[in-house]
Structure 1
Amino acid sequence: MTVELISVGTEILLGNIVNTNASFLAEKCAALGMANYYQISVGDNEERLSGVINTALSRSDIIILTGGLGPTEDDLTKEVTAKVLKRRLVEDAGSRSRIEEYFKGRERKDITENNWKQALIIEGCQVVENNNGTAPGLIVKTEEGKIIILMPGPPGEMIPMFEESIVPYLKTLSENVLYSEMVKICGIGESKAETMIKDMIDSQTNPTIAPYAKNGEVHLRVTALAATKEEGMLLTAPVVAELKKRFGSHIYTTDEKVTIEEAVINLLTKFNLTVSTAESCSGGLLAGRLVNVSGASAVFEEGFITYSNKAKMKYLGVSESTLKKYGAVSSETAKEMAAGAAKAAGSLAALSVTGIAGPEGGTESKPVGLVYIGCYFDGKIEVREFHFKGNRQKVREYTVISALDFLRTSLVNAYGEAIENNR
């Protein structure tokens, strides 16, 4: 089956918001085995939206529209879709009741007349409940057997609706089962990772391997088409085993829901370890990633943001002579920052970050993107030098990912046998 994605909203065309919905849906649909040849963004204009929907119906089996389901006049998706299909809009009692309940639980309980617009649905459609907002989703089957799915635009509403309701529906459209496993890799770039498995990709039939590049990571989705889930597991098992053999400790998880920070927190928790952070150029992003994880308080002691040399000396005990001789961005300073953080916090492990995020501040000897990351663990300190490319935000993001993976690999090297036995 082919799927086409249509993102509705003039704000997308103007660049006021980043269209993350299309990226999310494209990846999820690919995992479901659907071919996606077209992705369209269209403004809140009846004529253009109508043309886009008609074109999509002529070439795709499933059309997914996001956005334009709000209560205002420029929210046209439902109305235009109904006109294209020559169907009426009718009020859905269940949707009206949910809108009433939604406003009862809010500080402002007054429901304006235009809110009831969201209780209107396309005649003959299947209503999809929105547990995070007022606009329900709709699934419409055309007389020709095509399927149109309408979902709200805000990711906080669209994503849970898609995962909870649309994915199970889409799975019913195929007689076979698509079973997939995710292999997440850190510390190896996309081009190198692809080179390492080029022979596997060139010869693949079923299952298939699909690489996805993330910031500082590479994700490999292994997908098998099978009659049952159990058969799919048998098909993917040898492929995943071969990937583990090739990438070794660079694989931090085979659980799609686990992030790099969760993998680190899980290891620290498993071995009753604590960690602290000392950050300069990352400005707290590293600590922020760690505390993203529920339960991090059990292992995360303290985070120091020491942007100035004065702060490095005051809170981490970095010597003035080190800063004068080697500079704030140096292996020596990173080493003292890591040791100082562990000592000040009383933690068993510590990460330090110092670098030049740019766009200013670089020199010939210390260019923008130069970052030193220190890792204190088991009484030893190791420092690694990195040269990242990209803008300020990219440099900081890559720094955080690399720091987390630095600590992870240190733990893997120390507890490798115990980790392997519990995989």
Structure 2
Amino acid sequence: MNAEIIAVGSELLLGQIVNTNARFLSQQLAEHGINVYYHTVVGDNDKRLKGVIESAEQRSNLIIFTGGLGPTKDDLTKETISRHIGKKLVFDEEALVSIKQYFARTGREMTENNKKQALVIEGSDVLPNDHGMAPGMVITVQGITYILLPGPPKEMEPMFLEYGIKSILSKMDKHERIESKVLRFFGIGEAALETEIEDLIEKQQNPTIAPLAADGEVTLRITAKHTSREICENMIAVVEEEILERVGQFHYGNDQTSLMKELVRELTARNIKIASAESLTGGMFQENLTAIPGAGKIFMSGIVSYTNEAKAKLLNVKRETIEKHGVVSEQCATEMAENVRSILDADAGISFTGVAGPEELEGNPVGTVYIGISFRDSEPKSFKLNFSGSREQNRVRSVKYGCYYLLRELAARK
């Protein structure tokens, strides 16, 4: 079964609301092995909606509509579809009673146009709306199944889970499911990683491998299809093992994790308290760290020392270090990391200093970054990076590399 999701509503095209319905429906359909090849958004216009339906019918045998089932004149989804498939709209008595009861419960007056929401396509299976007024409906015509769902997620999601998916599964001869696992990598580019596993990508069938790069990270999504979840997971595990044999040194976690989440998890497991000193990142490391639940167990505090004077006064960076080497230097980075750890009596300290942009500093080009790391029982280290992105990208990547270097140093201390 190949599905297409059509969201109806001019407010989506105007950017007034986000189409979260498509994501939800795609996730649900994937779990049952239903392919979703197209997402379409169309405004409240019957001619354009008709054109979208005709295109969808050429490539999909399951078309799911969200939105356009309300009481106003611009809610025209079921009207357009009913005309297109040659069916009348009729009142569903149960839906009409439910709508009247809703208004009675809320103490509001029911206007005449609200009855429109009880209209359904003749011959369709009606999907009750337990969280709103407009019912959904399912109808199959000439081998194509049309499902109409309300637009508000609080109505659409429970309706689909309780009634919609059951209707779809009843029409399927073979019930497959799709399982995915996301492998997350850092410290290697998308092109380099793809080169290492190029032969695996070229011969992929089931499972499939899909690379994706974003903000200096690379992910690989491994997707398997089978009727059994256990077999899907076993298929994914085989491919995962092959991939990690080649690029496992850059792998830091799976699925919805992040470098910062992994860092908090590792520091918590070892009961290591950390402090931070930030210049170019302006507190971004601390902000991202404290956004993770449980960070309070391992984060002592942080100091944002943006100016040279602040570095000297708040972090006790030697003035001779600043005069001789500059603040954009490994010497300054290591002093910042070591001193913030000592000042705040932490087990580990991390520092960020460099040139975020847009102008160079102390003769260093934009994107020059030093990260310092200090542990209570060892000599401090510094790492130099050269970025070529925007000011914001340089700051974001600095924080991610800080997490990466900390995780690497922690792994070496096991």
1:195 CA displacement: 0.9
Letter of the structure 2 residue corresponding to residue 329 of structure 1: V
Matches of 2:164 and 2:349, distance apart in 1: 41
Call closer, same or farther: CA 1:305–1:147 in 2, change over 3 Å: farther
Who is 2:42 aligned against?
A: 42
1:228 equivalent in alignment to 2:231: no
Call closer, same or farther: CA 1:50–1:199 in 2, change over 3 Å: same
1:185 equivalent in alignment to 2:185: yes
Deviations 1:251-297 (A, max 9, x none): 1123x232322211111111111222222222222222222221111
Matches of 2:160 and 2:386, distance apart in 1: 38
Letter of the structure 2 residue corresponding to residue 53 of structure 1: I
Q: Name the TM-score, length of structure 2 as normaliser.
A: 0.77
For this pair of structures, how many residues does the alignment match? 402
Q: 1:376 aligns with which of 360, 374, 378?
A: 374
Whether contact under 8 Å (1:13, 1:41) holds in the other structure is: yes
1:350 equivalent in alignment to 2:349: yes
SS at match of 1:59: coil
Matches of 2:373 and 2:116, distance apart in 1: 54
Matches of 2:250 and 2:400, distance apart in 1: 13
Whether contact under 8 Å (1:129, 1:136) holds in the other structure is: no
User: Which aligned pairs between 1:242-261 and structure 2 lie closer than 5 A?
Assistant: 242-254=242-254, 256-261=255-260
Who is 2:176 aligned against?
A: 176
Matches of 2:355 and 2:163, distance apart in 1: 45
Who is 2:214 aligned against?
A: 214
Matches of 2:159 and 2:365, distance apart in 1: 44
Who is 1:366 aligned against?
A: 364
Matches of 1:289 and 1:84, distance apart in 2: 51
User: Which aligned pairs between 1:130-145 and structure 2 lie closer than 5 A?
Assistant: 138=136, 140-143=138-141, 144-145=143-144
How many percent of aligned residue pairs carry the same amino acid? 35
Call closer, same or farther: CA 1:113–1:168 in 2, change over 3 Å: same
Whether contact under 8 Å (1:186, 1:218) holds in the other structure is: yes
Letter of the structure 2 residue corresponding to residue 401 of structure 1: K
Q: How large is the Cα RMSD of the aligned pairs? A: 4.2
SS at match of 1:318: coil
1:316 CA displacement: 2.1
Who is 1:285 aligned against?
A: 284
User: Which aligned pairs between 1:12-411 and structure 2 lie closer than 5 A?
Assistant: 13=13, 35-65=35-65, 86=87, 87=89, 91=95, 124-127=125-128, 138=136, 140-143=138-141, 144-148=143-147, 150=149, 152=151, 172=169, 175-254=175-254, 256-358=255-357, 360-362=358-360, 365-377=363-375, 378-411=377-410
Matches of 1:301 and 1:171, distance apart in 2: 53
Letter of the structure 2 residue corresponding to residue 327 of structure 1: G
Letter of the structure 2 residue corresponding to residue 234 of structure 1: N
Call closer, same or farther: CA 1:322–1:58 in 2, change over 3 Å: same
Letter of the structure 2 residue corresponding to residue 226 of structure 1: H
Structure 2: tracts of 5 or more residues without a match = none
Call closer, same or farther: CA 1:321–1:399 in 2, change over 3 Å: same
Structure 1: tracts of 5 or more residues without a match = 104-108, 416-423
1:202 CA displacement: 1.2
Matches of 1:243 and 1:171, distance apart in 2: 36
Computing the radius of gyration from Cα coordinates, the structure with the larger value is 2
